[in-house]
Amino acid sequence: MLLLNCPCCGVTAEETEFHGGGEAHVKRAGPASEDAAFETYLFHRENPKGVHFERWRHVTGCGKWFLAARDTATLEVFGTYSAQTLAPPEVLLARIRAKRPGFTWRDVQ
Ligand SMILES: [Zn+2]
């Protein structure tokens, strides 16, 4: 069972109260971008066995979007945070590094 905490309203509930929205922190490619960059934006997503950053929406609650970091293999949730961020909060990255030594994510070491 996956338990998520909505950082917008503070409710902790099972995943059935939420709806997944795919990978978080996808870099947008504008209409003037190269074809390869636009293809990456549209179709290429990470699918790790391990720590993943995802978008979630609290559909049966406040209706707002938020982001979550969880392990796709164990369903361990490391934390949730506002969707209005460009990168995971440092405190969350430190929590992940403490539990998963050697963890790296894109430009974050
Ligand atoms: Zn909520």
Beta bridge partners of 56: 20, 66
Separation of alpha carbons 24 and 15, rounded Å: 17
Angle, alpha carbons 53-1-45 (nearest 5°):
25
Comparing 46 with 58, the larger pLDDT belongs to: 58
| Closest by CA position to 25, among listed 66, 78, 74 | 66
pLDDT computed for residue 78 by the predictor? 97
Q: How far is the CA of 5 from the centre of ligand 1 (A)?
A: 8
Separation of alpha carbons 89 and 30, rounded Å: 26
pLDDT computed for residue 107 by the predictor? 60
According to DSSP H, which parts of the chain are helical? 35-43, 90-99
Compute the average pLDDT of residues 100-104: 89
Q: How far is the CA of 52 from the centre of ligand 1 (A)?
A: 21
Domains of the chain (ranges plus CATH)? 3-99 (3.30.2270.10)
Please, which residues have CB less than 5 A from ligand 1, an ion? 6, 8-9, 58, 61-62
Question: How confident is residue 13, by pLDDT bands cut at 50, 70 and 90?
Answer: very high
Question: How confident is residue 27, by pLDDT bands cut at 50, 70 and 90?
Answer: confident
Q: How far is the CA of 89 from the centre of ligand 1 (A)?
A: 19
Separation of alpha carbons 55 and 7, rounded Å: 12
Q: How far is the CA of 63 from the centre of ligand 1 (A)?
A: 6
pTM of the model: 0.90
pLDDT computed for residue 1 by the predictor? 85
pLDDT computed for residue 108 by the predictor? 61
Q: How far is the CA of 6 from the centre of ligand 1 (A)?
A: 5
Compute the average pLDDT of residues 14-31: 93
